Structure 1
Amino acid sequence: MAECPGIAHLAEMADGGLARVRTPGGRLSADQARGVADAAGTLGSGVIDLTNRANLQIRGLSLDAGPRLGERLAAVGLYVGGEADRRRNVLLDPLAGLDPTEIADLRPLAAALADALGSADVAADLSPKFSIALDGGGRAGLAATASDLTLLARRDGAGRGALALALAGRPLGVATEPETAVAAVLAVARAAAALGPDTRARDLAPHVVAADLVASGLAAPCGDVAWPAEVRPVFGALPASHAEGRAAVVVPVAVGRLDAGQLRWLAARADEDGEGALVLAPWSAVVLPGVAPARAADLLRRSDAVGFPPVAVVERLTVVACAGAPSCVRAREPAKGAGLALLARAAASGAAPLARVHLSACGKGCAGPADADLLLLGASDAPGWTLHAHAAPRRPGPAVGRLAEADADAILEWLAQRG
């Protein structure tokens, strides 16, 4: 089993091979989205996951499908081959260039970093899990995402833009200029690679990294920076600042689960209603830039008919779920399926509770570490779910109830009683 999947490096899962398609900056052309959908439908099971780092995962592949998948995705510019494929872990605020509150549009930096990491001399020695997050200082607060290295746009006392740095969530007290940002990131990557391919940012000494960056002229000390405490998801129609008279539409994706038909539908909407591009959001959503405001409401209405949840539901009820059964060998319970059913029932009822629900089929907590108002925790050695209030999978605390299955009505009733 591949430790960290890519396109050629498939992970062996209970439902077959899994490929991770990295989309640096989260941006896909409509043709690239169709390429992924077609590959998923013909080589895999047609099931596609949108990850919490804004990548796509194709499920249900045969374990020898890597070369064929690589050929298909290389034809649409999504596979670069070699060690570079798994090293382009660049997460960008999906509202970059669209958010009028942002300090800096970091899309050019995201593209430059993806290229640099893929071609750097340390690519083979760098952990494929080494991740970078870029936050232009806008409303979404992407810098709160757990990453090895985070760059957050800020303004100095003279009003000039700079990028404050954090290592594994710990601010370094230094900032780099946009023109030196790629070199600064590569310097940190080389420091990690020098300690071995399993080294992550948490293994580096923050004061040493900061001192080395300052000594090399790649960063300078900066004052205190207000780092976002949490990511703030955005859904629905968003007036955009980059194109007068156009909007961005953020379509929610229930528990990050797509099928090939839904991805093709999004590609068609990007071509017909937008500017021919999709941007993947790490909060289980897809952004369609360049939509005319008069088309936005109709596009969102039509998204319901192809299985996307209503914005009014996901703005109140957040549901996260791991892959669960039958995708994971550790799982007995169908976490994704239960999450989809819960959102569908909340939409049908017309009264979604204001809550965060996490379905984790085991204690590993693959869907994320954040606390939920209600955690449903499964186990590999027993059927059913235990219920935990204000908990996360790795620190569930005492159980407050138990369900033989994740019945949507029972979950909604539990939430209503404690709301």
Structure 2
Amino acid sequence: MADCPGVLHLAAMADGALARIRAPGGRLSAAQARATAGAAATLGSGVIDLTSRANLQIRGMPEGAGPALAARLSAADLFVEGPADRRRNILLDPFSGLDPEEVRDMRPITASLDEGLRSASWIGALSPKFSFVLDGGGRSAVAAISSDVSCRAAAQGTMIIAAGDVLVEAADDQSCVAALLAIAQTAAAAGPQTRTHDLDPRILTSALQAVPGVRQAPEPLATRELTPRLGLVPQRGSERVALSLPVPVGRLDVAMLEWLADVTALDGEGWLALAPWSAVVIFGMSHAVAEARLAQSVGRGFTPLGVAERLTVVACAGSGGCSRAREPAKELGREVLELAAAEPWRLPPAAVRVHLSGCPRGCAGAATADLLLLGAEESPGWSAHRAASPRAPGEPVDRRGAVSARDVFELLAHRGR
């Protein structure tokens, strides 16, 4: 995808135009979920993707559908007029404010940052790929996801990290937001394609020194790993629970999203959160109702919890959705999960991650996978890589002209040999 899409600015894909809907912090009301489902049914093919940064994508729209989509989503407060629409890439821990282990509730910072980006005079010069991650120090550890700038709360304070080596501490929410905006403005001033890793750290340090309430951090933070949370999750200060439902290879359809909206409105608090590990979280449910809805979710198309806890499958759009891809990555991913549900004895004894990409670019995420399958560049076929990431796949351990779901489990079974 050469250019980041938005609501008005669509991307041409193999299955039609694609729109990306940014809900800062990944929060949607039941009404907003219904509006998105309705737009996908009326203007698109009915296919809705949940991205690795907790945005939604409507696929299969006709060229020129942007204005009609903008009108629909504007009524649901899911569209921002102007260049800010494509530049509000804010990833928040879906359990922020509700995680008993959290150090700081990042929801107020998210709202203020979003408002600051909407009103910034320089926003049009910021790269649409520029991203923020806000991590309150809870169990999910979303700051492990790569970003241009992250804000992470810990016992010793709230730290801001940009380009991996600029580290400052913010005294309060206001100074934190001001620092995040200062970093983004510095990148925008350097050029429309500039990311924080392109900037001299001294320039970022200088920009941050002018922000009140910000000082050099006394020590670096320990590295943490992303911890996906699925099933019933306790909520802080409540007997009610959150229900985190795994979405197979990050793909929803209209009926699934409408069902989520109904459950959110009937059984929850009226809003849901999109998680960067391909899940949707509904909050404020009684334990008994959450158990019942979890059981029902499998019949609605969601991945069984027992499968999702042992097998993570990420997949790019594949040949059906991307002109670069030769192999049907998304379809193969769904088949792998369906086979695991039908024949659970195939599941490995410990949790594993499988990444399927229809071409060598390795879209769908940069994390290391236990098994990485890459489509070939010039001809049909796959190369298999173990303990590899798309950025560093290494030499293949196997090459195959075609791969089935059973082949994937065979490759997993032999990964230690």
Asked if residue 43 in structure 1 is aligned to residue 38 in structure 2, the reply is: no
Deviation at 1:273?
1.3
Q: How many residues align?
A: 413
Alignment of 1:409 with 2:403, yes or no, is no
The match for 1:165 is 160
Question: Which residue is 2:318 aligned to?
Answer: 324
Question: Is this contact kept in 2: 1:143–1:228, CA < 8 A?
Answer: no
**1:207 counterpart residue number:** 202
352-361 or 248-257, which moves further after superposition? Answer: 352-361
Corresponding residue number in structure 2 for 1:159: none
Aligned residue in 2 for 1:303: 297
Tell whether the 8 Å contact from 1:369 to 1:394 is kept in structure 2 after alignment. Answer: yes
Of 221, 232, 248 in structure 1, the residue corresponding to residue 227 of structure 2 is 232
Q: Secondary structure at the match of 2:130?
A: coil
Q: Provide structure 2 residue ranges, at least 5 long, that are not aligned to the other structure.
A: none
**Deviations 1:343-393 (Å, cap 9, x if unpaired)?**
111111123223211101112111111221111110242112121111223
Matches within 5 A, 1:136-155: 136-155=136-155
Who is 1:22 aligned against? 22
> Is residue 389 of structure 2 the alignment partner of residue 365 of structure 1?
no
The alpha carbon displacement at 1:247 in A equals 0.6
Q: Which moved more, 1:311-320 or 1:405-414?
A: 405-414
1:390 corresponds to which of 375, 387, 390: 387
In angstroms, what is the RMSD of aligned CA positions? 1.5
Q: Using the alignment, how far apart are the partners of 1:414 and 1:2 within structure 2?
A: 32
Give the CA deviation at 1:223: 2.0
TM-score, length of structure 2 as denominator length: 0.95
Q: Structure 2 matches for 1:372-383, cutoff 5 A?
A: 372-383=369-380
Q: Mean Cα displacement is larger for which, 325-334 or 171-180?
A: 171-180
Match of 1:340 among 334, 341, 345: 334
Alignment of structure 1 residues 96-115 onto 2, 5 Å: 96-115=96-115
Q: Distance in 1 between matches of 2:205 and 2:266?
A: 47
CA distance in 2, matches of 1:166, 1:268: 39
- Deviating more after overlay: 11-20 vs 378-387: 378-387
Q: Cα deviations across residues 103-138 of structure 1 (Å, max 9, x unaligned)?
A: 011111111111110111111111111111100000
Residue type of the alignment partner of 1:338:
L
Whether the 8 Å CA contact 2:386–2:415 is kept in 1: the answer is: no
Letter matched to residue 188 of structure 2? A
- Contact conserved, 2:256 with 2:300, CA < 8 A, in 1? yes
Distance in 1, matches of 2:176 and 2:211, equals: 13
User: What whole-Å deviation, never above 9, does each CA across 1:157-204 have from its counterpart, x for those lacking one?
Assistant: xxxxx4201113335244442221221112111111111111111112
TM-score (norm 1): 0.95
CA distance in 2, matches of 1:380, 1:16: 22
Aligned sequence identity (%)? 53
Q: Distance in 2 between matches of 1:313 and 1:49?
A: 20
Q: Which runs of 5+ in 1 are unaligned?
A: 157-161
Out of 277, 280, 285, the position equivalent to 1:286 is: 280
Residue 213 of structure 1 deviates from its aligned partner by 1.5
Structure 1 residues 212 and 417: CA distance shift in structure 2, 3 A: closer
Residues 261-288 of structure 1, C-alpha deviation per residue, up to 9 Å, x if partnerless? 1111111110111111110001100010
Match of 1:266 in 2: 260
Paired residues of 1:87 and 1:123 also in contact (CA < 8 A): yes
Give the structure 1 partner of residue 81 of structure 2: 81
- 1:76-99 CA-to-partner distances (Å, cap 9, x unmatched) read 110121112112111101110121
CA distance in 2, matches of 1:107, 1:246: 20
Q: What SS class does the counterpart of residue 64 from structure 2 fall into? A: coil
C-alpha distance after superposition, 1:203-239 (max 9, x if no partner): 1222332243234424112222324432111101001
Query: Aligned AA for 1:119?
Result: S
Task: Tell me, in whole angstroms, the C-alpha distance in 2 between the residues paired with 1:264 and 1:168.
Answer: 39
